[in-house]
Amino acid sequence: MDERNLLSTREVAQFLNINEKMVYTLIAEKGLPATKVTGKWLFPRHLVEQWVENETINFPKTRDPLPPYHGLLIISGSNDILLDRTISLFNQLYPENVSVFGNLGSLGGIRALIRNLCHMASSHLLQENEQEYNFGFAEDELGQLPAVINFCRREQGIIIAKGNPREIQGVADLGKPDLKIVNRPLGTGTRLLLDRELEKAGIEGERIEGYGRELQRHLDVGLEVLSGRADAGPGIRAVAGLLELDFISLRWERFDFLVLKDRFFDKGIQLFVGLLHEPAFKELAEDLSGYDLNLCSKMVFPQETENKKET
């Protein structure tokens, strides 16, 4: 890692406009990203910036709410192949309506929701307890828990070349010399998962060639691996299956829609959620690997506020 991308304790204190003693408190109590080298704390700049973004509350709202529903359904958030197909099916079956998607990543989708820029946000943000998804992030950003509807469960992992020529067995192998990856942007659930797994493996992401090369879609990651321009990249099994690439599974995750409660009964939202019960929707997933629709269209509720406390 370029030492210019590492901040000292004093530099972090200046960046956050706090005293140095408070920096140590943030490391211990708030998870401020830090590493100890030769007895001194060092802070990767990009992780500090990401931490600040993730800790942001009271995100600015727009002055005007979304207008009453008049045929345009706006979904924003996390990219997904099955979701892309479902939006196309919606537009085909309900020509008097139009559904559009803003690919902003999970966190970006939630923030678009709070700013009244979309009707639904798609998200798969894994909480610190590694058991639940989205609830803590949504409550932190929105100040309230929205309606949460499951879209699917899907398999996340590492997309690798057919035959695994680089002999990658897990996240720890991404630190091999001369291995090149591509990445997903900050604020996406996929990037959050990869960074968490790299931290567990004791690997600094910026030491991996290509770590800073961010692509907007899972399919783009797969195409880079297929072309040989990258040896690996984080993504979903469905992409590996479509492109006939190999895949290393990290976990099954819950992919949800978040809807503000006062918009839940908007016609477009009800039409879209209703579509998830139809055979035509189920057929969309038949040729895709790595999807589980057992929870699809069901309302998802946190068991207790413990999930929030654990984050």
Model confidence over 119-160: pLDDT tens digits? 999 998 877 776 666 566 666 666 667 889 999 999 999 999
Express each pLDDT in 170-185 by its tens digit.
Answer: 999 999 999 999 999 9
What distance in Å separates the CA atoms of residue 230 and residue 295, rounded to the nearest whole number?
A: 34
Residue 216 burial class via C-beta count within 10 angstroms: exposed 0-12, middle 13-18, buried 19 and up? middle
Residue 120 backbone zone (phi > 0: left; psi -120 to 50: alpha; other: beta)? beta
DSSP bridge pairs for 44: 6
Model confidence over 54-78: pLDDT tens digits? 666 555 554 456 788 899 999 999 9
Query: Alpha-carbon distance 155 to 249, whole Å?
Result: 7
Superfamily of domain 72-152+255-285+300-310: Periplasmic binding protein-like II (3.40.190.10)
pLDDT at residue 42 is higher than 70:
yes
Same fold, 3-55 and 72-152+255-285+300-310: no
Report the alpha-carbon distance of residue 108 to residue 122 in Å, rounded. Answer: 10
pLDDT band for position 308 (cuts 50, 70, 90): very low
User: Is the pLDDT higher at 229 or at 49?
Assistant: 229
Question: What pTM does this model have?
Answer: 0.76
Give 231's pLDDT tier (boundaries 50, 70, 90).
very high
CA distance linking residue 141 with residue 257, whole number of Å: 15
Residue, of 221 and 126, whose pLDDT is higher: 221
The domain limits of the chain are 3-55, 72-152+255-285+300-310, 156-252
Asked: is 156-252 a CATH 3.40.50.720 domain? The reply is no
Instruction: Give the pLDDT band of residue 309 (cuts 50, 70, 90).
Output: very low
Instruction: For domain 3-55, give the fold.
Output: Multidrug-efflux Transporter Regulator; Chain: A; Domain 2 (1.10.1660)
User: What integer pLDDT is reported at residue 163 of this predicted model?
Assistant: 97
The rounded Cα 261 to chain-centroid distance in angstroms is 22
Q: What is the pLDDT of residue 6?
A: 84
Per-residue burial over 251-281, b = 16 or more CB atoms within 10 Å of its CB, e = otherwise = eebbbbbbbbeebbebebbebbbebbeeeeb
